C-alpha cells in the first residue's frame, strides 16, 4: 500500500501535470476544518462568557416559594448537605421604579447585609444598587433618589393607593448581560420587609453547583408552598434555545460550505482518475485484481481526506491556543470581551472532523464509482491502445 500512496501523492503534488483543481479542493477542505474548529472554539468561549456572567448574578440553582419566616429558611440552610455550598436567601419582588416622569418595571432583590450574594458583596447596599441599563432608562445617576412603587401592597387608610418607598442610588453595576442590567436591582432585605410589614423571604439562590433533587428534599421538610427548584438553564430556557439555534445555524452554514468544497473535490477527482487510468490498467495487466485496485484507490482517498482535515484541525487548534493565551486586547473597547475567549471540548473537535470528512468521502467515492466502472472499462482502455 505504501508505494501506491507515494505514487498518488507524487502525481497530485509534484508531477508536471499536477492537478491544480484537486489541490485547490484540498486547500478548501483544509480551510473548512480549520474554520469550523476556530469558529466553534471562539463562539463557545463567547457563549460561555454570557452564561457565566448571568450565573454570577442569578446563581446556578434557585429555589422559589411563597414568603415564609426568615428563621425557617435559616434553619433549612443549616442542613449538613449544604456545607460548603454558597447559598444566599433573599426576598425577590417585581415592582415599578420611578425617577421624575420616567418609570420602568424592575425585579428587586432584597439581600441580607450579613450574607450577601457574591455579586453584591462588594457593593454599597445601604441604598439601592441599579443595573446600568435600568439607570439609563430612568435617567438617574449615582446618589440620585428614586421611588419604588409597590402595586401589591396598599395603604388601608388611603384605599387602593400603592405604597411607595424612596432610596438613594448608592451603586450602579454592569453585569454585561443586557437582560440583567436593564431589569434588576438590589436593596437591603430589611427595607422590603418594612414595606411589606412582614419579616419573610421567598427565594434562595445557590451559587455553587448542587443537585436539584437534594435541594427539593431539604426544602420539602418545611412544607413550603409553591416550591419551585430550577437550574439556571431551566429559568433561562429562551436564552439557552437561542444559543443552541446559533450553533445549529453555524453548523448548517459550514456543512453547505463543505458541500461546495466536496463538489470541487469530485471535479478534481474526475480529472485525476481519468489521467491515471492508464496506470491503473497497467496494474491490472500485471496481475493486480480489480477489487484490489479499487480498495487501493479508496484507501488513498480516505488517507488524503484524513490528512488534510487533521492538518486543518491542527492549525485551528494552534490558533485557538494562541488566542487563549494572548493577553493583549484584540477587540475595540465597545465590546464586552476585549480579548477573544476560547472554549473547546472533545465533542466540538469530533464534529469539526466528522462533517468535512463525511461529506468529502461520500462525494469522492461517488466520483470514484462513476469513473472506475466495471472490468469492461479496463478492457476498453486496453483496446484503445491498439
| Across 175-184, 232-241, 260-269, 287-296, least confident range | 287-296
- Tell whether the model's pLDDT for residue 318 goes beyond 60: yes
Count other Cβ atoms within 10 Å, centred on residue 116: 19
pLDDT digits (tens, 9 = 90+) for 198-243: 899 999 999 988 899 998 988 888 888 888 999 999 988 888 998 8
Q: What pLDDT is attached to residue 24? A: 75
Q: How confident is the model at residue 367 (pLDDT cuts 50, 70, 90)?
A: low
CA distance 291 to 288: 9
Q: Which three cell numbers stand for residue 40?
A: 466553534
Count other Cβ atoms within 10 Å, centred on residue 60: 17
CA distance 229 to 248: 29
pLDDT digits (tens, 9 = 90+) for 165-199: 999 999 999 888 888 999 999 999 999 999 888 89
Q: What pLDDT is attached to residue 376? A: 45
User: What percentage of the chain reaches a pLDDT higher than 90?
Assistant: 25
CA distance 205 to 88: 5
User: What percentage of the chain reaches a pLDDT higher than 70?
Assistant: 78
Check the CA dihedral 116-122-125-129 and report its sign: negative
Higher pLDDT pick, 177 / 158: 177
| Across 20-24, 137-141, 256-260, 298-302, least confident range | 20-24
| Across 9-18, 183-192, 292-301, least confident range | 9-18
CA distance 86 to 205: 8
Largest CA distance in the chain: 114
Count other Cβ atoms within 10 Å, centred on residue 222: 15
SS3 for 32?
A: helix
Annotate 214-277 with DSSP letters as a single string.
HHHHHHHTTT-TT-EEEEHHHHTHHHHHHHHHHHHHHHHHHHHHHHHHHHHHHHHHHHHHHHHH
Q: What pLDDT is attached to residue 27? A: 82
- Tell whether the model's pLDDT for residue 74 goes beyond 60: yes
pLDDT digits (tens, 9 = 90+) for 39-52: 899 888 888 888 99
Higher pLDDT pick, 224 / 273: 224
pLDDT digits (tens, 9 = 90+) for 96-149: 999 988 999 999 999 988 777 888 778 888 899 999 999 999 999 988 999 999
Closest by CA to 177, choosing from 264, 330, 47, is 47
Cβ atoms of 247 and 43 within 8 Å: the answer is: yes
Annotate 277-308 with DSSP letters as a single string.
HHHHHHHHHTT--HHHHHHHHHHHHHHHHHHH
Q: What pLDDT is attached to residue 32? A: 86
Higher pLDDT pick, 124 / 292: 124
Q: What pLDDT is attached to residue 281? A: 60
Closest by CA to 13, choosing from 3, 2, 25, 22, is 22
CA distance 64 to 92: 9
- The mean predicted confidence, pLDDT, of the chain is 81
Q: What pLDDT is attached to residue 292? A: 67
Closest by CA to 203, choosing from 48, 92, 79, is 92
- Tell whether the model's pLDDT for residue 25 goes beyond 80: no
Closest by CA to 363, choosing from 235, 242, 248, 262, is 262
- Tell whether the model's pLDDT for residue 286 goes beyond 50: yes
Q: What pLDDT is attached to residue 239? A: 87
Amino acid at each position: 500500500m505504501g508505494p501506491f500512496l507515494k505514487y498518488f501523492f507524487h502525481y497530485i503534488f509534484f508531477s508536471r501535470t499536477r492537478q491544480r483543481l484537486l489541490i485547490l479542493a484540498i486547500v478548501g477542505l483544509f480551510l473548512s476544518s480549520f474554520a469550523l474548529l476556530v469558529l466553534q472554539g471562539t463562539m463557545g468561549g463567547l457563549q460561555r462568557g454570557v452564561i457565566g456572567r448571568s450565573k454570577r448574578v442569578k446563581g446556578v440553582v434557585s429555589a422559589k416559594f411563597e414568603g415564609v419566616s426568615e428563621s425557617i429558611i435559616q434553619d433549612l440552610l443549616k442542613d449538613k448537605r449544604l456545607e460548603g455550598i454558597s447559598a444566599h436567601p433573599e426576598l425577590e419582588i417585581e415592582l415599578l421604579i420611578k425617577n421624575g416622569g420616567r418609570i420602568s418595571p424592575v425585579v428587586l432583590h432584597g439581600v441580607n447585609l450579613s450574607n450577601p450574594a457574591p455579586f453584591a458583596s462588594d457593593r454599597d447596599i445601604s441604598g439601592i444598587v441599579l443595573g446600568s441599563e435600568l439607570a439609563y432608562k430612568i435617567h438617574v445617576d449615582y446618589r440620585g433618589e428614586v421611588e419604588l412603587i409597590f402595586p401589591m401592597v396598599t395603604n388601608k387608610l388611603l384605599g387602593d393607593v400603592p405604597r411607595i418607598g424612596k432610596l438613594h442610588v448608592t451603586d450602579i453595576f454592569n453585569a454585561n448581560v443586557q437582560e440583567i442590567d436593564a431589569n434588576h436591582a438590589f436593596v437591603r432585605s430589611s427595607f422590603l420587609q418594612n414595606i411589606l410589614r412582614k419579616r419573610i423571604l421567598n427565594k434562595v439562590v445557590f451559587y455553587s453547583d448542587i443537585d436539584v433533587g437534594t435541594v427539593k428534599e431539604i426544602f420539602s421538610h418545611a412544607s413550603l408552598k409553591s416550591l419551585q427548584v430550577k437550574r439556571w438553564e431551566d429559568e433561562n430556557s429562551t436564552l439557552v434555545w437561542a444559543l443552541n439555534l446559533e450553533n445549529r445555524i453555524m453548523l448548517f452554514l459550514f456543512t453547505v460550505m463543505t458541500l461546495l468544497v466536496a463538489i470541487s473535490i469530485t471535479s478534481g477527482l474526475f480529472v485525476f482518475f481519468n489521467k491515471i487510468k492508464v496506470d491503473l490498467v497497467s496494474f491490472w495487466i500485471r496481475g493486480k485484481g480489480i477489487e484490489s485496485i479499487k480498495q487501493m484507490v479508496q484507501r488513498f482517498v480516505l488517507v488524503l481526506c484524513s490528512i488534510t482535515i487533521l492538518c486543518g484541525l491542527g492549525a485551528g487548534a494552534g490558533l485557538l491556543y494562541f488566542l487563549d493565551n494572548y493577553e493583549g486586547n484584540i477587540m475595540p473597547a465597545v465590546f464586552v470581551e476585549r480579548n477573544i475567549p476560547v472554549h473547546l471540548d472533545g465533542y466540538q473537535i469530533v464534529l469539526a472532523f466528522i462533517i468535512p470528512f463525511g461529506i468529502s468521502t461520500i462525494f469522492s467515492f461517488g466520483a470514484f464509482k462513476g469513473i472506475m466502472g466495471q472490468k469492461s472499462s479496463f478492457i476498453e482502455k486496453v483496446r484503445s491502445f491498439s
